[in-house]
Amino acid sequence: MQRVLVMGSSGSGKSTFARRLSAMTGIPTVSIDALFWKPGWVESGRDEFERRMTEAAREPRWIMDGNYMRHGAGELRRKLSDTIIWFDLRLLGVTMRKDRVSDVFNQLRPWATAGFFVMVITGSLLFASRAADAYSSAYFRIKVGLLVLGALNIVIFHTTIDRQREEWDTAETPPFRARLAGLLSLLLWFSIIAAGRIMAYNL
């Protein structure tokens, strides 16, 4: 994890998350808003913004917060990032409350599926390269345990409350069990990322 793209709706907490992840991993943050807005809240021209974003995206390590995916080297950022975190709190009823939960899920599903397979492949290759050292690491065991809990949370959500989604799909505040699943998901995956980074520095 060297190039991390943190995406989400306005006010979802992506900037705060990016700063905390940067403090934990040592990977520098790049504020896309800061690259787009000039002093006095003057917008950058399209070509100028594209050039700035291209230069920033080609750096070897970054955590970027923000969207601007239709311009500002959006396609290049997607190709160069090795981790994409869509930080949206719709399931918690915090943001995008006017949007149907199904619409948000349908938009994120391709990214989540692709990210899952990339995670499995790259994680397996990294583990195979230093299997003995990783297995003896307490952080590795913590990460595996958190992954199991994360998978269990997904299974429980989709086999219980999610089967009744039609009843709360348009609700601004989803049912408690749905909000709990969303909160646990955020906490578990943040902890998985943290455990993986700490493990890398202790092998």
pLDDT digits (tens, 9 = 90+) for 77-123: 777 787 777 655 677 776 667 778 888 778 777 777 777 787 788 88
Same domain flag for 97 and 60: no
Kindly state whether residues 41 and 110 are assigned to the same domain.
no
Pair 25, 1: CB distance under 8 Å: yes
Greatest alpha-carbon pair distance for the chain in Å reads 55
Q: What is the pLDDT of residues 184-199, one digit of tens each?
A: 988 888 888 788 878 8
| 101 shares a domain with 26 | no
Backbone angles phi, psi at 62, to 5 degrees: -165, 155
Q: What is the CATH number of the domain that holds 11?
A: 3.40.50.300
What total number of domains does the chain contain?
2
- Give the span between the Cα atoms of 38 and 25, in whole angstroms: 29
How confident is the model over 9-18, as pLDDT tens digits?
Answer: 565 567 777 8
Token pair listed for 12: 């979802």
pLDDT band at 66 (very low <50, low <70, confident <90, very high): low
The per-residue pLDDT for 175 is 92
Q: Do residues 77 and 64 touch, judged by C-beta distance below 8 A?
A: yes
In a shared domain, residues 124 and 193: yes
Q: Are residues 1 and 66 in the same domain?
A: yes
Domain carrying residue 58: 1-87
Closest CA to 193 of 131, 142, 137: 142
Same domain, 60 and 120: no
